[in-house]
A and B are shown apart, each in its own frame.
Chain A
Amino acid sequence: MADKIVDKIVDKIVEDRAMLAGCLLIVLFVVMAIFSPWLSPYDPFAQNISLRLSPPGAKHWLGTDGYGRDILSRIIWGSRISITIGIFAVGIGAALGIMAGLISGFFGGAIDNVIMRVVDTLLVLPTILLALVIVAMLGPSIFNVMIAVGISNAPRFARIIRAEVLSVKKMDYVAAAFALGASHKRLILRHILPNTFASLLVLSTLRVAQAITTEASLSFLGLGAQPPTPTWGSMIADGRVFLRTSPWIPIFPGIMIMLIVMGFNLFGDGLRDILDPKLRGSKGK
């Protein structure tokens, strides 16, 4: 089954230019994140007051910030935080959501009712607000942002997985496995969970884009990674005070956020078209 999905994805990437562009953008940023120590021309933390607020030029391609730090180097290092938080937060959200969705959909009844009411409550608050509240409780740090963005993503996964479980568990092969004496654990892990893979893949890709934006927003508000760690959101926040004189400071990190989010959106849209047309329009806010 996984082979078939991979084949479908490869075929789609070859024929769909938008998905190909999305894929290329993601690869570009992942490479940037992995090889940042070798790709960045300067130390992202090194301050040089004599060069502060230098405009983009031959020496510093994207200019320098208020402490004379090279913006390109900080952007390259910042990609690590964005991508790591994006992927891990969605991983945390998916893990929690899958667990809740599987239990809720499989067992039904009172347990389903309780889990779904919790999910409804969490869905009432917009992702950014829920993440803000959780960071407010835990305190600002990269790890806490990951947890906060993860938890705020979980209800969406729970909803989708529950719906999938409800439709899959009615299938004849699940009834046959049950009649043959398969345990609940076996039914869930061997027969139901693999069938939710396509929806999970689509939702995860689209939610990474959302998670990156949420992380950037939290960092912008000063509730993410703390200085001097370079994150795109905090770079934009730092650049606010120089908006009039040195607009390049906030402009370039913002373009990076836009490009990476665009990459995940394009790739996710393509995945959705081939794997799960039901999810059309589910790109959360």
Chain B
Amino acid sequence: MDELEDVSRRVLAIIPTLLGAVTLAFLVIHLAPGDPVQTLMGDYDAPPEVVEKLRAQFGLDKPLYVQYGIYVLNVLRGDFGRSLRTEREVMSEILRVFPHTLFLAIVAVVLAILIGLPLGMISATRSNTAVDHLSRILALSGISMPSFWLALILLLFFSVYTGWFPLVGAGEMENPISLLHHLFLPALTLAVRDAAAISRLTRSSLLEILRQDYILTARAKGLAERAVTYKHALKNALIPIVTVVSLDLGYTLGGTVVIEAVFSRPGLGTLIIQSIYARDYPQLQGAIVFFALCFVIVNLVTDIVYKFVDPRIEYKRAP
């Protein structure tokens, strides 16, 4: 019963955050300097009667609190209006491109684990050797290099010079091989930073565990070093790593914004950039709320799964 109460408290806690995101999206048009209608019109110098007509059409002639109320109610119905650029419904446009972004983020996180975890383990078990130093330098470089630059370097070597991977695009939807072929370089670019973070965390977490008394006991019992590391130490070292990895999915979704632009891939990031360039505010507003929703859901699922994995966790508001 307590668990249920805990989970419902956590679920309820996301409501103000989401309402905040909706408010931020609403304010995007109103906080921009100048008249909102002119903001929507961009550089086009429309005659006054057209401006007034548009003001009425978008409901911008009503008081701000009424506009806000209408906007919140529309968002609750999943209605973000129509894109100014494509005239399609904002939500259907988001749902059309989102699978590309989600797929990219998931593959990137999987790659990050596959690269980061072994690298961190090797580094910890051979600490202060040349291998450790090399792995730490790689991790530091991975954390420090800008992802859009790494994307260009990977494109240079694996597309331009060798021709192994395509330069741009997302591939043919009905052909999984083509999809994966187009996905690999963008996913690898996104994964490098996360892999570096996972590797650093695995190293420090494993080194800390390897100093504990129970590890000494395991060694004293005569267990092989392999068994000590993998069976006793790694299991406990994984707890903070799992936290980082699950939070990474949310952040990796954020990283897709720039990477999709470099690889000219369809997705939520590309949609956001296009909306900004075209001043397509309804589309941008919808994307902001959708992004916040994704992030909140990822965090919520992580928290709830944790609650069942580790019952010591309670969802009380931070002191």
A interface list, Cβ under 8 A from B = 117-118, 120-122, 124-129, 132-133, 135-139, 163, 166, 209, 213, 216-217, 220-223, 233, 236, 239-240, 243-244, 247, 250-251, 253-254, 257-259, 261-262, 265-266, 280-281, 283, 285
Contact = CB atoms under 8 A, between A and B. Distances in A.
> What range describes how many residues of B lie at the interface?
35 or more
Given A125-B21, A133-B284, A221-B258, 12 more contacts: A120-B16, A126-B251, A126-B253, A126-B257, A129-B254, A133-B24, A138-B32, A163-B318, A216-B148, A250-B149, A254-B150, A258-B145
Counting from the closest, the 6 A-B pairs by CB-CB distance are: A126-B254, A121-B20, A254-B149, A262-B144, A261-B144, A285-B251
Contact of B288 (A125, A251, A253, A257): A125
Contacts of A120: 16-17, 20
Contacts, number: 139
Interface of B: 16-17, 20-21, 23-24, 28, 31-33, 140-141, 143-150, 152-153, 155-156, 160, 193, 197, 201, 204, 240, 244, 250-251, 253-255, 257-258, 261, 272-273, 275-277, 279, 284, 288, 291-292, 295-296, 318-319
A259 B143 CA distance: 11
Contact of B21 (A121, A126, A139, A266): A121
Contact of A247 (B21, B156, B319): B156
Contacts of A129: 254, 257, 272, 288, 291
Contacts of A266: 140
B41 to A, nearest CB: 15
A138 B145 contact: no
A132 B272 contact: yes
A254 B146 contact: yes
Contacts of B17: 117, 120-121, 124
20 contacts: A124-B17, A125-B292, A126-B257, A128-B255, A129-B257, A129-B291, A137-B32, A166-B319, A216-B146, A236-B152, A243-B156, A254-B150, A254-B153, A257-B145, A257-B146, A261-B143, A262-B140, A266-B140, A281-B244, A285-B251
